[in-house]
Amino acid sequence: MYQYDHYDQTLVNERAAQFREQTRRFLAGELSEDQFRPLRLMNGLYIQRHAPMLRIAIPYGLLSSRQVRMLAHIARKYDKGYGHFTTRQNIQYNWPRLEEVPDILDDLASVEMHAIQTSGNCIRNTTSDHLAGVAVDELEDPRPYCEIIRQWSTLHPEFSFLPRKFKIAVSGSQRDRAATQVHDIGLQLVNNAQGETGFEVLVGGGLGRTPIIGVVIRPFLEKAHLLSYLEAILRVYNRYGRRDNKYKARIKILVKETGPARFAAMVEDEWLKIRDGMLLDEGELQRVSAFFQPHDYLELPSKDAGLEQQLLSNAEFAAWYRRNTVPHKVAGYRAVILSLKPHGTPPGDMSDSQMDAVADLMDAYSFGEIRVTHTQNLVMADVRQDQLFEVWAKLKLLELATPNVGTATDMITCPGLDFCSLANAVSIPVANAIQALFDSYDYLYDLGDIRINISGCMNGCGHHTVGHIGILGVDKKGEEWYQITLAGSSSNDASLGERLGPSVARDEVPAVMERIFLTYRDLREEEESFLETVRRVGIQPFQERVYESH
């Protein structure tokens, strides 16, 4: 993975020192609340329901064991012993004290981490495929480009006071696991007719109040022009994005109101002016790429007799293997997904002791690295298949082996009303109530792949609009109600969910889910997935079943 040189380290140290001084000025009354707000947000610090919330950047989701141990230390020393992984591959702490945040930033800087631009109206953490570098369907590893974008966007002098936040995702695989179509900019590595690799550029996707699927404004961008093209998009956005209404300030509204073709022409105009002066430095690309070369994999047989035997003799292990491991591009290895969704706990949460133990497993079994997924799980991407049984047994003791990845209980949820001052309704208790429907894995596995996403308000941090089943908390005369949508997706076949009907009371949500599941079981054909069935039959049969007694 990428390692800081003294320039990277100096910048992060200087940023931590700057924030220490800003915090001092705020506490001394030299900065007003309004003046301090954008400064603290650009260091990931929110003022929340109970305490400040600190969001720490995990660039494109990649962590070393040393960094995971530091995250454990921070959870222990400054928080209540846990952290919460987010849908943008970051981690949040819900209980730090403002006075101690400068110390946390110093601790982070000591392991090449920071909280720069994890909030605020600036370019946020660049996210990517959690299987980058190991995916069997990968055209090219996107992480060197993510790192180059990270550096370009860090403390960008022109684009730190944008109309609104700005999120970039990069995917290098055929299957989009980075939700590029619902980002402000989505970059998809593609080949052109000449067989050269470059980027397909999408803009204007996003969730929140006005969910929109991004549009392609350039089908093929040469790699050499990556940064000039991004700079051109950002300049057009910074100039013309709306600032009169924060709900209309995202680039998606500018693209929609301008029209994608005209917006693309504005970007091209700007790009022509700057592109020749901003060519991607070939030496720098090589320098960065060298950090992402394949690990020293052993030459292993693609079939392992021991593993075959374990799969036959241990049904529980076999279930975990099917749900929580995925193929690797190197024979004899698999990527292992650590489920952060054990039934009955807040999705995406992890304790300090789990983090420490996982850091040891990373060192022992996966080249000392781990990745965060946008579905709030973790991936040890390089595990030898002859060691899978050992790894499973150890993860099981840590309660990180719930064999539910991709199923109905592997939900994305935002923190909701329990923690967030924006929320209208709780999210985590709703997720736990749905998990409680499944007292047997047979039922869960019978339903197969279902993505259920829950947001506590229309800002949509739980990505409800792109859930196969989306659940949105709404406030109805002071009570928590939930609006259900069906058939959303953030993958290649991206689509926004369709509203099922009137919202339902909180205690009715589990029963409504049961009816949706049963309708699917009645209507599915052969191996059809939930999403395929809903797309084939439409939402009407689901509406009829859900609302029949109302």
Closest CB 132 distance from other proteins, rounded Å: 22
Nearest distance from C-beta of residue 9 to other proteins, angstroms: 9
| φ/ψ of residue 321, rounded to 5 | -60, -45
Residue 519, helix vs strand vs coil: helix
Q: What is the DSSP string of 81-103?
A: SEEEE-TTS-EEES---GGGHHH
Checking 439-445 for CB contacts under 8 A at 24+ apart, the result is 441/319, 441/403, 441/404, 444/404, 444/407, 444/408, 444/409, 445/319, 445/323, 445/407
What is the helix (H) or strand (E) element at residue 497, kind and residue range? none
- Interacting residues with other proteins between 48 and 107 (CB under 8 A): none
Q: Which string of b and e fits 387-402 if b means at least 16 CB within 10 Å? A: bbbebbebbeebebbb
Q: Could you give the CA distance from residue 336 to residue 327 in angstroms, rounded to a whole number?
A: 9
Write the interaction track for other proteins spanning residues 440-479; mark x where CB under 8 A is met and - where it is not: ----------------------------------------
CB of 46 to other proteins, least distance (A): 16
Query: Which strand ranges, in their side-by-side order, compose the sheet holding 127-128?
Result: 127-128, 168-171, 185-191, 197-203, 215-222
Q: Closer to other proteins at the Cβ: 160 or 210?
A: 160
Q: How many chain residues interact with other proteins (CB under 8 A)?
A: 39
The only residue of 99, 137, 281, 308 in contact with other proteins, by rule CB under 8 A: 281
Segment near other proteins (CB under 8 A); pick from 1-9, 60-68, 80-88, 198-206 = 1-9
With CA atoms as reference, report the closest residue to 139 among 218, 192, 216: 192
493 by Cβ neighbours in 10 Å (0-12 / 13-18 / 19+) ranks as: exposed
Residue ranges of the alpha helices (H) in 84-225?
101-109, 143-153
By the rule CB under 8 A, 238 interacts with other proteins: yes
In whole angstroms, the minimum distance from the beta carbon of 474 to other proteins comes to 30
Q: Read out DSSP for 452-469?
A: EEEESSTT-TT-GGGSSE
CB of 232 to other proteins, least distance (A): 11
**What is the nearest approach in angstroms of other proteins to the Cβ of residue 273?**
7
Least distance in angstroms from the C-beta of 156 to other proteins: 6
Tell which one of 98, 216, 224, 274 touches other proteins (CB under 8 A): 274
Of the pair 152, 517, the CB lying nearest other proteins is at: 152
- Of positions 50, 273, 476, 536, contacts other proteins by CB under 8 A: 273
**Which of positions 196-235 make contact with other proteins (CB under 8 A)?**
235
Residues 125-154 that bind other proteins (CB under 8 A): 151-152, 154
Is 293 near other proteins (CB under 8 A)?
Answer: no
CB of 19 to other proteins, least distance (A): 10
Q: What is the largest CA-CA distance in the chain?
A: 68
Identity of the residue, 26 or 85, whose beta carbon is nearer to other proteins in the bound complex: 26
Choices 91-99, 106-114, 183-191, 278-286 (CB under 8 A): range interacting with other proteins: 278-286
Query: Is 287 near other proteins (CB under 8 A)?
Result: yes
Min dist CB 170 to other proteins, Å, is 17
- Min CB(265)–other proteins separation in Å: 16
| Dihedral (Cα; 337, 342, 348, 351), 10-degree rounding | -100
Q: Give residues 12-31 in contact with other proteins (rule: CB under 8 A).
A: 14-15, 17-18, 22, 31
Nearest CA to 145 among 291, 297, 272?
Answer: 291
The DSSP 8-state label assigned to residue 148 in this structure reads H
Residues numbered 149-188 forming contacts with other proteins, rule: CB under 8 A: 151-152, 154-163
**Residue ranges in 28-47 that form contacts with other proteins under rule CB under 8 A:** 31, 35, 38-39
Q: Which is closer to other proteins, CB of 114 or CB of 341?
A: 114
What counts of helices (H) and strands (E) characterise the chain? 18, 21
C-alpha to C-alpha distances, 122 to 156, 166, 232, 250, 422, nearest whole angstrom: 9, 6, 15, 11, 20
**Helix (H) / strand (E) containing 513:** helix 509-523
Structure tokens at 169: 């995702």
Q: Which is nearer to other proteins, 36 or 517 (CB)?
A: 36
240-269 residues in contact with other proteins (CB under 8 A) are 243
Binding site for other proteins (CB under 8 A): 5, 7-8, 10-11, 14-15, 17-18, 22, 31, 35, 38-39, 121, 151-152, 154-163, 235, 238-239, 243, 273-274, 277-278, 281, 283-284, 287
